[in-house]
Every structure is written in structure tokens, then in C-alpha cells.
Structure 1
Amino acid sequence: MKLSSKALLALAISSITATAFAEPASQEFVPTTLAGTSAQSEAKGFIDGQSLGGTTRNWFSSERKFRGQRFSYKKHGVTETDANRTNWLQGTILNYSSGFTQGTVGVATEVAAYNVVALDRSKRDIKGGSNRTLADSDGDAVGQWSKLGLANVKFRVSNTTLTAGRQNFSSGIVDTIGNRALPSSFEGVSFDSQELSNLSFQGGIFDRVSPRTEQSLSKFRSEYGNGQETDKVKTLGFNYQPFKSLKTSVFAANVEDFWNQYYFGATHELGDAQTLALTTGLNYYKTTDTGSKKMGKIDNDTYSLSLGLTHQAHSLTFSYQAVNGNEYFDYLHETNGIYLANSLTSDFNGPNEKSFQVAYGLNMAEYGVPGLKFNVYSARGWGIDGTHYTGTAYGEAGVARSDLRLMNGETHQEYGIGTSYAIQSGALKATTIRGTYVTHRASAQQADGNIREFRLVTTIPFNIL
């Protein structure tokens, strides 16, 4: 029997409900009470509570396209093509945070200087720049550049903090993304209220984003659209833990003249990893057009369901994901606002796409090597169908690999293997080294194409004060 998408979603929700009551320990209800302490009452003062530190990250990527696909770049005004692209950078963050002043209303500030040095400056290697290496108008790498990544003022009463300025923010819809040499950040005003023991509220209004690989602020635009920009993003939501084993998150966002988006996430944990533990995750997004509809007509329901089994050092996870809509499941560019289980190198978010992933993880701490981990995964997407798309936001009509209307039954596969190590002690404690290798294969009109990538990232934290 073939289940409909609505039936699968109902099954996903019911599976979380069922596991929430699977054994007595998981039925332990967490009552909502006032927080036991006030963070502001424990404020140390502007100077006494200050800190100065940061991270430096060495970020290397080597990519190769295959099956006839190639990168292009300009050399002496002539377009050249090549199957390879290399990016190598050193990104450093120096972050100063003051303490909160004492009293009923505490005031603090946070300032972070971001700097990047391009270690590979070959125009042929970087292919004219991207969201990896900053390049000038001629496609030459900018050898060294800096900016204010964070610059804000914070006001706190009890356990509620209001932040104004350039800042980090995290939710299922608007989230700082940090998978390059530097992370993104947002310009605006936000609040975080943790007055209750198991229920917190967050919200914000943002009008600009500081991209990972740009020096200036930019307007928000969508990840998959044709460059349309929006002047304002508003978001509001809460995190709630009704049981010790169950955590939920609900957020909504209005992206002016783009869309209204609603997010629900739930994670349930059952059992003991020393014998057998089950982790169930559900992520659901509803997106509809709004305002002047710069992104065209949108009516999209997308969800993912994951089931993970853990036994001591070993974990095995199965993830199913479905997009119900004639357009991409889209999110804001320079954010990590996609909490779907199958968001990998490819997001597996094509119109009407279904995808399935199997992943295996090995934690070597169980074998006496804490900090060392391995993972491998395989994901496949199928049924990509954009033939019913009537808008103009996603690609140029009739252009291969761009126009959704040319996507008819497209498929793709992704395979990845990775290892990471976190140093456990000594002067380099908490330093992480991460290496990954990914292969992505696609049918003719699937947008992500055929590419292999090896990535090596080393991140070193440091403290000065």
C-alpha cells in the first residue's frame, strides 16, 4: 500500500506521540514553573564579567565536477572552464563581551572583529570567487579583509535579554550559519526570555544580513530564488520541554513580500545508549506567499522524520523527507534556516521531491579514544517534478538546470564519509579537526549537478581574558 504524504506526516507525528509514552521514565512530566534563579541578580558588572577570546579556522575545500560539467571563470576577458575548484582560507574571530552592569536593568555589549586571509589566491583555483573566497570585480581573490561581525548592546531584566545591533540568532527559520571560514550574522533587534523553567521565548526583527564571505551588509534574499530582495524579516517562537524525554520548538516568520513560514520541531529520546536508545525527530515547515509576492505563488508543506538507534559506540539513523509543493522548499540565504534531516551538501528540497537517507556513526570514546568520531551516509532523492510551476522566481524559463518546469522525474544521490577529532586537554583543548568527502550524482535537470568534494577544517579556540 502506498501512503500519501499526509498519511506519512500523520504517521510521523503519531510515532513521536507513541514513543513519548513508551515507558514510565518517558512519562515524567516537567511542570512549568518560574526559573529558580535570576541571571541579572548574579551580574558581576561591566568590567568584572568581561571576556576576550575567539577562534581561528583553517578552511580548505577541493571540488571536482564530472560527467561533462565544469566551473567557469574569466581570464583576460575570456571565459575559461575547468573541472576543478580549490578554496583555502584562514578565518579568525576576535570577540569581546562585557559583563552586565548590576541593578534591576543590566547593560552589556558585544563586539567581534572578523578577518580572513586567502591562502590560495589563484584566479584559476577559486574560479572567480563564490561564497567561499571573496573576489573583486575582476575575479581576483581579495588577499586579506576584515569587518565587524558582531556589534551590539544588550539589556537584561531578570532572565530576559533584549539585543540591538549586529548579532547571532538561532531558530528553525532564522539561524546563523557557520560552515565557511566565518559565520553570518544579522542586523536588527531580538529578545530571549527564559523566565520559565522549561519554556523559553525568542523573537526578532532583522533588516540586513552580514554574509559569510562579504564585507558589507546585504538585504535578505532567498537561497534558491532569482535574486529578489526583502527589507524586513520578523520571527517569533518558543522552545518547550513537556517531558524529560521530549523537546519541542515552534516558530513563525514573516519575510516581507516573500512568504510567511511556520516551523514545528520535536525530538524524543527513549532508552539507554549503553543497551539501546531510540531518538525520533520530526521537522515540519509550512510556507505560503504574502504581500506583493516577489517569490510568486507559494503553497508548500515540507517535513522530515528521522529514527536513530544507538548502542554504545554505534548509531544508525534512517531519515525520510518530503516536499509537497510545485516550488522548492526555500529558506533565507546566509542562514541555516533548514532543520530538515536530509539537508546535506544537497538540501533534497526540489519541488515534490521525496528522499531517504541511511547514516552510520561511530564514537571512538567507547573504545578509549574520546573526541574521535566517524560517520558515513547515503541519501537518494526522487520524484522531482516542477512541471506544474507557474511562477518566475526560480530560474529563467527554458534554461536547463535553472527552470523548474524542465524538472520532470529528476533523481539524485549523495554519498559522504567523514571523521572528526576534538583535542581533549592541553593548550589546544577543544580544537577540532574535521575531514569530509562527498560525492553527488544527479540526473540531467537536477540543479545540484555532479560534483565531488574533499573538505578539511581545523578550528582552534583561544582565550585572552
Structure 2
Amino acid sequence: MQLNKWRVLALAIAAATAQHAFASEEVTPLAQGLGNSSQAKSNGFIEDSTLHLESRNVAFYKNYKNTEPGTQNYINEWGQAELLRFTSGYTQGVIGFGVDAFANGAVRLNGGGGTGGSQVFPTNASHCDAATGSCQAQDAYGMAGGAVKMRMSETELKLGTLMPQSPVFGTWDGYLMPQHANGGLFSSNEIKNLALQGGHFTSGNADNSTNHDGNLGTAYGWTRVDSATYVGGDYTFSDSLSGGLHAANYEDVWNQYYADLYHHFNISDGLSLLTSLNYYKTDDAGDARAGKINNDAYSIALKLTAGAHSFTVAHQRVNGNTPFDYLGISGQGGESPGGYVGGGSIWLANSSQWADFNAPGEKSYKVQYDLDAGALGIPGLSFMVRYVTGKDANGTGADVHGAYSFENTVRNGEEWERDIEVHYVVQEGPAKDLSFKIRQATYRGNEDISHNSGADEDEIRIITSYPLNIF
């Protein structure tokens, strides 16, 4: 029998509370914590307020390898954005009140007819080429929004346009504009070492959309979700061990549960090992709009750090007849394939720049090398290269009447991806904190896996960011 959403959330809260109770006897009740809490130390609405401006420039180039003759075979988009964010302090008193607001605007520098796409900019439907399928991006776009907030002791409640970050409901910020979701969000740190959060959301905007009230949906199943509710907790057991439990109900689509565990072990001076375990369980719920879902996905990663160098190996597996799926928000495509732009709620080790390696039955493996050049005398410079390969994807058991019926053609899917990233942050002088990031990805997969992950491609992203704290 399916659990209803309120039972799901109650179970998650109980699990997080039990996790703390067994782990520590050190509990600071709310009444005892008021005198020394963050709210008690508030200086006021204006006194603690900040105004932050980020200038962001994104150049995006994607070369498709398997397109039909006469159709668009590449995307070349380039734009400049200004992101202004105001964060107020809280009024003084037992309960404090405040406001957060943002105003974002961007202009297109490239992405005209024949080169436009929907990765970075909203497309202009009145400027599309029927022959190639290419649509010119809008010349400029922007949006503004905000939220009201209140705080008591170490507990906050926010209502409005927000950017939640949870393994079961999270927005994404990787191009010019960030995603947002509309609803309510709470967070609480009343109990030592335990961070609780939860929320209820009904709409949002994708990063390539100016629609304030875009529908929530599923990134791979393209299924609309009327509302999503989630709750979770993360507990720090010691300096070396932490873990979390989270649960979400996407109304009439699925119940999703998540657990993770992180352990850091110092082997010797300058040598350490980080072990990461991540697990998702997803089942259809309510009216099961996306059809039958019974999916287990997990990953384990080992990261060995020796001075400036880090080496990571990871294994990820998806068990079930459907892919591991996660939050999407409707962009330019509406409720059609590709219409829901994926958010940030996939915390599996092998999710990469392009592919998630999340097809039904898929087993994937990753090797990664990271360099922190600061330890070699070049502060601010870092480098990463990784290779991920997946095999044994098989979606023949997917519900033929459900949203994942396209997986029925995946019988022996195989794919691989190689990513390279160079990142530099200016350390001093007038341009201090100016950052440059170059990301290159090469993806290849056989014909079967293309129904899940898409066509072969080469991709380059160049992202420049300059943050300015106005006050």
C-alpha cells in the first residue's frame, strides 16, 4: 500500500530525530538556546543587510555528431548577465522578520538563426527555421522576485521565490540565470550537529525561461507535478563522519527517499581518504501519473588526497525498470520531451557535465583526477579531468503505458563521457575574486542509450564571474 505524503514526511522527521538521539546526548532545547541564538544576536533589518552584484559571462558551444543532413548540428550561444541580490537582516526581538529580493537581467551576444538553442537563453518562437529546426534566442531577458522570512532562535521560515538545495528537491545554477522555485522553505539548527530542512513548492522557473510560474515536472519522464513536499536532516556524528536522511513526495508521481554517509580518514600528514555513499529509493505514488516506478539507485566513491593531488574512483548502479529521475522545471518546451529542465537534486557520484548515467539497469564507473595548484605555489588555480563509462542499460521492463515507455528500446545501452575543467580565481588586486572557468565534455553512446541520454556530442562552456559586495 502506498504511503501518503504526510506519512512520508513524518517518517523522515522521525528517522532524522532518531538518528540524532542515538548519536548524541547533547541536545539544546529551544527555550535554553534563545539567549545565545542567531536571532538574539541580530543587529537589525538594515544593519545586517547585504547587497551583492555578480557579473556573469557564459559562452556555450555544442557540436552534435549524429544529426540528420540539413538539420542544425551545433549550438553557439554567448551572453552577459547581471545578478543583483539583496538580503536583509532580521528585525530584533524573539521573532525576527526580513526580506530577500533579486533582480536578474541578461543580453544575448550570440545565438542567432542557425546557431541558437535552448541551453542558455529563452528561444524566440517567432524566429525559427522550419528547415533546420533552429530558433533564434531572445535578444534580452530577465526576471525579479523575492521572499519574506522570519526567524526564531535558530529556525527560519521563508515564503516566496527561492533556491532550495536538497538531494530530493534542488534548483540548479550553471549557466547565465539560476533556477527558482515558488513556495515555502524552513530550516532549523536548534539541535547541536543536526540540520533540518523542508519545503513545499508548486511552481518555478527554469534557467532558460522567464516564466515565473512554470510547472514542476520530472526531468526524464516529462511528467507534470502539481506540488512537491520534502523534508530531511543531516547529522554530524564527529569531525570525520556525517550522514543524512531525506524524503519527498511529488504529488501523484512518486515518493522518493535518500540517504548518504560521508567518512573522512586522515591516513598521515597530507594524505587522506574520503568515502562517500549515496542511495535513492523511488516508488510511484498516488495516481501514478508517470506510470509504475520502482527504482533503487546508489553510488560509492573513494577519494584519495595527497597534498595537491586527488584521485577518485566511483561505482554507480541503477536497479529497476525505469531511470533514476529527479526534479525538472518547465522551460521553453512546455510538457514535451526536453521541456522540463533538470534541477540540482541528483547527488549520485557519476552524474557529470552532460550524462547522468542513470538509465535502468545501468552500471557505471568513474576515475577522476583533481589538482589544487595552490599547494604548488599557484593559488587560485585548479584542474580536473574525469572519465565515466556505463554499460548494461536495459529498459525493456518499463511500463509501456507510463512516462518511461521510451526506455523499452534500450536493451544493451553503453556510453562514456570525458570531462576536463580548468578554473582560476584572481587572488589580489583590483580584479580580486574574478573567476574564469573552462569546461569541456565529450560524450559518446550507442544507439540504444541515446533514448535515455541523448546524441553524441562535444561541448565547451566558458564561464566568467565577477562578484561585487556593494554593502
Map 1:246-395; keep pairs closer than 5 Å: 246-271=241-266, 274-333=269-328, 334-344=342-352, 345-394=354-403
- For the residue of structure 1 that corresponds to 2:274, the secondary structure is strand
Deviation at 1:281, TM superposition (A): 0.3
Quote the residue 1:109 is aligned against: 99
Aligned mate of 2:155, from 160, 182, 186: 160
Question: Are the counterparts in 2 of residues 297 and 391 from structure 1 also a CA contact under 8 Å?
Answer: no
More moved, 252-261 vs 418-427: 418-427
**Alpha-carbon distance between aligned partners in 1 of 2:270 and 2:97, rounded to the nearest angstrom:** 48
- Give the direction of change, closer, same or farther, for the CA distance of 1:248–1:143 in structure 2 (3 Å limit): same
- Give the direction of change, closer, same or farther, for the CA distance of 1:358–1:206 in structure 2 (3 Å limit): same
**Alpha-carbon distance between aligned partners in 2 of 1:130 and 1:393, rounded to the nearest angstrom:** 26
**Alpha-carbon distance between aligned partners in 2 of 1:435 and 1:153, rounded to the nearest angstrom:** 36
**Any idea what the Cα deviations from partners look like across 1:418-446, whole Å, max 9, x if unmatched?**
11011222333222211111111110121
In the alignment, structure 2 segments of 5+ residues that lack a partner are 1-22, 127-134, 329-341
Residue identity opposite 1:84 in structure 2: Y
What is the root-mean-square deviation of aligned Cα atoms in Å? 1.7
Quote the residue 2:27 is aligned against: 33
**Alpha-carbon distance between aligned partners in 2 of 1:388 and 1:176, rounded to the nearest angstrom:** 30
**Alpha-carbon distance between aligned partners in 2 of 1:246 and 1:124, rounded to the nearest angstrom:** 51
Deviation at 1:37, TM superposition (A): 3.3
Task: Say whether 1:443 aligns with 2:446.
Answer: yes
**Any idea what the Cα deviations from partners look like across 1:196-228, whole Å, max 9, x if unmatched?**
220011010000112111111211010001x32
Question: Are the counterparts in 2 of residues 436 and 454 from structure 1 also a CA contact under 8 Å?
Answer: yes
Aligned mate of 1:411, from 408, 411, 414: 414
**Alpha-carbon distance between aligned partners in 1 of 2:278 and 2:122, rounded to the nearest angstrom:** 34
- Give the direction of change, closer, same or farther, for the CA distance of 1:137–1:160 in structure 2 (3 Å limit): same
- For the residue of structure 1 that corresponds to 2:36, the secondary structure is coil
Residue identity opposite 2:462 in structure 1: L
Quote the residue 1:142 is aligned against: 138
Task: Say whether 1:119 aligns with 2:109.
Answer: yes
- Give the direction of change, closer, same or farther, for the CA distance of 1:312–1:31 in structure 2 (3 Å limit): farther
- For the residue of structure 2 that corresponds to 1:408, the secondary structure is coil
Deviation at 1:158, TM superposition (A): 0.6
Quote the residue 1:17 is aligned against: none
Residue identity opposite 1:339 in structure 2: W
**Alpha-carbon distance between aligned partners in 2 of 1:273 and 1:327, rounded to the nearest angstrom:** 43
Quote the residue 1:133 is aligned against: 121
Deviation at 1:273, TM superposition (A): 7.3
- For the residue of structure 2 that corresponds to 1:265, the secondary structure is strand
Map 1:36-55; keep pairs closer than 5 Å: 37-55=36-54
Question: Are the counterparts in 2 of residues 114 and 147 from structure 1 also a CA contact under 8 Å?
Answer: yes
**Any idea what the Cα deviations from partners look like across 1:52-105, whole Å, max 9, x if unmatched?**
112121111111122x335x9xxxxxxx51322111111221011111000011
Question: Are the counterparts in 1 of residues 235 and 243 from structure 2 also a CA contact under 8 Å?
Answer: yes
Give the length in aligned residue pairs: 418
- For the residue of structure 2 that corresponds to 1:165, the secondary structure is strand
- For the residue of structure 1 that corresponds to 2:143, the secondary structure is strand
Deviation at 1:30, TM superposition (A): 6.6
Question: Are the counterparts in 2 of residues 30 and 244 from structure 1 also a CA contact under 8 Å?
Answer: no
Task: Say whether 1:433 aligns with 2:427.
Answer: no
**Alpha-carbon distance between aligned partners in 1 of 2:269 and 2:422, rounded to the nearest angstrom:** 22
**Alpha-carbon distance between aligned partners in 2 of 1:301 and 1:215, rounded to the nearest angstrom:** 35
More moved, 115-124 vs 289-298: 115-124
- For the residue of structure 1 that corresponds to 2:115, the secondary structure is helix
**Alpha-carbon distance between aligned partners in 1 of 2:109 and 2:25, rounded to the nearest angstrom:** 53
- For the residue of structure 2 that corresponds to 1:405, the secondary structure is helix
**Any idea what the Cα deviations from partners look like across 1:145-198, whole Å, max 9, x if unmatched?**
1111x4100010011001011112111111120111111111101111111220
Task: Say whether 1:97 aligns with 2:87.
Answer: yes
TM-score (norm 2): 0.86
Quote the residue 1:170 is aligned against: 165
Quote the residue 2:458 is aligned against: 452
**Alpha-carbon distance between aligned partners in 1 of 2:321 and 2:36, rounded to the nearest angstrom:** 49
- For the residue of structure 2 that corresponds to 1:366, the secondary structure is helix
Map 1:189-268; keep pairs closer than 5 Å: 189-216=184-211, 217-225=213-221, 227-268=222-263
Residue identity opposite 1:62 in structure 2: Y
**Alpha-carbon distance between aligned partners in 2 of 1:210 and 1:455, rounded to the nearest angstrom:** 22
Question: Are the counterparts in 2 of residues 374 and 418 from structure 1 also a CA contact under 8 Å?
Answer: yes
Question: Are the counterparts in 1 of residues 424 and 437 from structure 2 also a CA contact under 8 Å?
Answer: yes
Residue identity opposite 1:378 in structure 2: Y
Question: Are the counterparts in 1 of residues 156 and 186 from structure 2 also a CA contact under 8 Å?
Answer: yes
Deviation at 1:404, TM superposition (A): 0.9
**Alpha-carbon distance between aligned partners in 2 of 1:205 and 1:241, rounded to the nearest angstrom:** 25
In the alignment, structure 1 segments of 5+ residues that lack a partner are 1-28, 73-79, 398-402
**Alpha-carbon distance between aligned partners in 2 of 1:421 and 1:263, rounded to the nearest angstrom:** 34
**Any idea what the Cα deviations from partners look like across 1:335-370, whole Å, max 9, x if unmatched?**
211000000020000011000000011110111111
- For the residue of structure 1 that corresponds to 2:237, the secondary structure is strand
Residue identity opposite 2:385 in structure 1: V
**Alpha-carbon distance between aligned partners in 2 of 1:272 and 1:372, rounded to the nearest angstrom:** 26
Residue identity opposite 2:119 in structure 1: N
Deviation at 1:386, TM superposition (A): 0.7
**Alpha-carbon distance between aligned partners in 2 of 1:235 and 1:200, rounded to the nearest angstrom:** 14
- For the residue of structure 2 that corresponds to 1:55, the secondary structure is strand
**Alpha-carbon distance between aligned partners in 1 of 2:49 and 2:419, rounded to the nearest angstrom:** 41
Task: Say whether 1:421 aligns with 2:424.
Answer: yes
Identity percentage of aligned residues: 32
Quote the residue 2:334 is aligned against: none
Question: Are the counterparts in 2 of residues 58 and 457 from structure 1 also a CA contact under 8 Å?
Answer: yes
- Give the direction of change, closer, same or farther, for the CA distance of 1:424–1:392 in structure 2 (3 Å limit): farther
Q: Structure 1 residue runs of 4+, over 6 Å off?
A: none
**Any idea what the Cα deviations from partners look like across 1:379-407, whole Å, max 9, x if unmatched?**
10000001111234446x6xxxxx21111
